[in-house]
Structure 1
Amino acid sequence: MPESVRLAVRKTYKLFIGGAFPRSESGRSYPVRSAAGDFVANAALASRKDVRDAVRAARAASSGWARATAYNRGQILYRVAELLEGRREQFVAYGVPAATVDEAIDRWVWYAGWSDKIATVYGGANPVAGPYFNISAPEATGVVGVVAPADPLLGLVSVVAPAIVTGNTVVVLAAEENPLPAVTLAEVLATSDLPGGVVNLLTGRVAEMAPWLASHMDVNALDLAGVEDASLAADLERDAAENLKRVLRPAPVDWSDDPGTGRMTAFLETKTVWHPKGV
């Protein structure tokens, strides 16, 4: 008898919503291929309802995450970096250069360090002409929709970490052509101490999902880092204007550069309180 050939079980990656891994409600998936064109796995093809479910999960987690102490958020982000370190070889196997994986891990650590410092740097007491204390403090915007850049790991970390370290929750549309680093990051987040719903990740066609995310009335802000089509970017910004979402427009970025604090402050609101000193 001829020797039988075993066929490997190909993994079908799911979505990451509310800390769980559901299939797309549409039941759809699409093949993910390597740079050489070889079939690697299947990824879920998210739908409009999946976007709604992800936003609902992000909103449910929003108040609790925003109330967490800055120190606690920093601890959780550092824990994510520890777990990423343990998955280093898996990201390399997906075609992410080892040096880039190291940069992504270090970036999580860098943002973790900002958790209890950003309020001091961008808030504080303001001088006023009168017998008052005037104090400004930054607060999270709320739910942030993120279109992840084509850089599937360092770029992804560079847009997700600054949004959540300041107390926001996010709904992320992963890079369409190479979603495996993103869904692997979701597996890392699921086994970290990050509360369910703080990060929600959808895979599929960005052009199909992004308009529903941009027009959703319970999304407070958008980061369009991964939108390369100028016409689509303009349409998304127009949709976002319906409820005055804050929009971070797409722009060329070298993700290896010093990230600065711009992406953290982009999704912060400033609350100013007046209090009489007495006379």
Structure 2
Amino acid sequence: MEFGLHIADFTWKTGPAALGPALAAHVREAEAAGIQRITVMDHFWQLPGIGPESNEMLEAYATLGFIAAHTEKALLHTLVTGVIYRHPSLLAKQISTLNVLSGGRVGLGIGAAWNEQECAGLGFPFPPVARRFRELEETLQICQQMWSDSDGPYEGEIWQLERTLNSPQNLSKPYLMIGGGGEKKTLRLVAQHADACNLSTMGGLDALAHKLDVLRGHCEAVGRSYDEIEKTAMVGVNPQSTADAVATEVDALAELGVTATYVFAVGADDPSRTVELVSNVAARVA
């Protein structure tokens, strides 16, 4: 089992004025503790369930660039980017830029987006679900073409690109994760395009097992090995969480075939305690 530190809450006791140094120290500490992955959300307001909308939230790709400069080994990506927030060619360029500057450590987590209230507040278009999934599929195609040796045109239903030139190219093939558990569209796109899926544990282990069975069926339908796709999940912790309880949860996920767990903290104003908890969980699971 690999562990990721998913930084979903930036409301720390250091306050906004010291957020830069605090974040730099947090990710350095996480990497020194053996945490292999570091991720951030792609939102502009804080999410319900984590804190008030007015709480601190950093833009994802500026933050990943900052984190890349303060780490050396960890895999970095969003968990996950909303497809509607950026033009696909800009997104592909952002990933490859960070991939180069990080020494090949930045990948892409992406999904169809869901936060209509945030979009309305900030003026982002929020298309109907069918349009968002079409955008997601074309974005995946554009990213993969821009990350290839081809600089030819791209002709989609939504986007048309005359030349998909991308230089400098990625130093390593970007890790590509699709988040979400939609059985008809999302998991089909995972089978067709992704290196990994990220599935919610909120419905319980039986629901997660069902989603994995659906993914297996999509893999069979497109002629892809189910075992090629990494299965990942997220686990939330709070100041009352214990390493033993979280380790039990992670062990149950491992039984289903999950090989990477991303841990996020809610209500923890001291980020170093989250790193300590994840490190202790990893030791128990190992």
TM-score, structure 1 as length reference: 0.28
Which protein is bigger by CA-based radius of gyration? 1
Instruction: Return the structure number with greater relative CO, CA threshold 8 A, min gap 6.
Output: 1
TM-score, structure 2 as length reference: 0.28
